[in-house]
Amino acid sequence: MGNIVAFDLGASSGRAMLGRLTDGKIEITELHRFSNDPVQVGDHLHWDILRLYHEIKQGLLIAKTQGIDVESIGIDSWGVDFGFIGKNGELIGNPYHYRDHHTDHIMEKLFAELPASEIFASTGIQFLQFNTIFQLYALKQANSPWLQEGNRLLMIPDLLRYFLTGNMHNEFSNATTTQLFNPIKYQWDKELFNRLGFHDSWFGDVLQPGSKAGMLQASVCEELGIPSIPVYAVAEHDTGSAVAAVPATDQSFAYLSCGTWSLMGTEVQEPVINELSQKLNFTNEGGVEGTYRLLKNIMGLWILQESRRGWEKAGKSYSFPELVQMAGAAKPFSAFIDPDDSLFFAPGDMPARIAQYCRQTGQQAPESVGEIVRCILESLALKYRFVFEITERLSGQQFNGLHMVGGGIQNTLLCQWSANAIGKPVWAGPSEGSAIGNLAVQWIAQGVFKDIWEARQVIRDSFPIVEYKPEEQEAWGHAYDRFVKLTGIAE
């Protein structure tokens, strides 16, 4: 069947993925891959949003030069970040990066004005200092001209769609990441807006994944020399797209979307908003077909990626396979970190911060590259067990194993250690989960698939799934007990 394109934007790179259905199976081809590098300007870290828009147009041009007639496109990206459109229809400033320091300590200031319990009861979203609600409050505290001059707030995919189509819409899965959308009332929470001094007019209509959001506008078609094509709102938070691509057979399943961030949880029909989910800092983000993703953010492979960047700056260049090989040869269970400790959030010298964490918790710090990488990967696997068991408790379900999707599944050591840690099978695949989920929602919108479960069946038949069975259970059980005690995560 015809060609459709998913633009899948991650925190470090983006890609244009071509999708086709041939003999009932999905075929994907990478048309274009590009880096997504944040830009430091003075004291602030920004996304280079116009470069990302340029790269999307390059993807469409590459399809044209290859003689591919694209029938539709969809865009997904990370959540929480946004841009403001002014009254003249132009972008005001470059969007801030979620790791920018302007939200440091802002949560405490906002909670002094509006209790955390009230925010969680209204939104069901976990508290992270970079959530949109805190970014907006930080802008308000700084008297940012964006808030005076801004007419509409658009999340990153919303913004790129606006550039392409001229139409301004917000999309459901990404709207929920703002911590300003009420999933019970199924609308923006205007009471929160009013209490925090945010304007209703900033937030527009909310499209469900699978809605047609517009057509390529004439100026884009003229520039690129292509016909106008439909642009769909998919599950535009990339985790929402990744979960759409989980090849589950049982409607009760656990997933881990593994990349720069690790996001673990399950799919539920109604948000789980109660004292326990708030205490455990779980979140209820929008999914496809009216579902919610009950999940928790875990720092993920960011710590390893940032460590590798530091070694490269020091003149020591290692490929990820080399790092995994060194980790496999290092002594097991020598030191642990809590990957979600605030030490590891901002860019910087991760090996030094790991050593600092170990000193603070009475451990001997890892020294060699292999020891450091092993510490990171073992700690991630053990944190996965902790979150996996809490997900079962909150959802009232028992999971037979864990579906891992995303680029992180190429780290076979992490996959195996995750199975060892949770004591249940791990099913790894597909690696391009977000792009495949993006494509699947476009096909559902076109009537090619009747629903997400038919799409998941086709995904399961189209891509290899590797099963990792748990090993060394006794050793990993003892390691988990030490990990929980040393990190204090259960307190």
| Catalytic (active site) residue 37 | no
29, 39 Cβ separation under 8 angstroms: no
* Helix (H/G/I), strand (E/B), else coil: 462: helix
Q: What is the CA radius of gyration of the chain?
A: 22
Amino acid identity, position 69: D
Phi, psi values for residue 213, rounded to 5°: -100, -10
Q: 321 CB contacts (<8 Å, ≥6 apart)?
A: none
Residue the block writes with tokens 């995994």: 324
Q: Which of 81, 100, 189, 238 is catalytic?
A: 238
Rounded CA-CA distance 277/275 in Å is 6
Question: C-alpha angle 186/191/194, rounded to 5°?
Answer: 135
Closest by Cα among 417, 271, 404, 281 to 340:
281
**Strands (DSSP E) along 329-419, which ranges?**
402-405
Structure tokens that stand for 13 in this block: 């790179």
Residue with tokens 């506008």: 217
Assigned token pair, 81 = 């970040």
Buried-state track 143-166, b at ≥16 Cβ within 10 A, e below 16: ebebbeebbbbbbbbbbbbbbbbe
- Looking at the chain, how many residues does it have? 491
Contact 129, 135 (CB under 8 A): no
- What are the tokens at 238? 């990339």
Between CA 338 and CA 144 the distance in angstroms is 35
Phi-psi region for residue 97, left (φ > 0), alpha (ψ -120 to 50) or beta?
beta
Closest to 268 (Cα-Cα) out of 247, 283, 281: 283
Are 390 and 282 contacting, i.e. CB atoms less than 8 angstroms apart? yes
Nearest to 5 by CA among 76, 77, 72, 57: 72
Q: In Å, how far are 277, 305, 459 from 464, measured between CA atoms?
A: 34, 26, 9
Element (H, E) at 14: strand 13-22
Positions marked active-site: 238
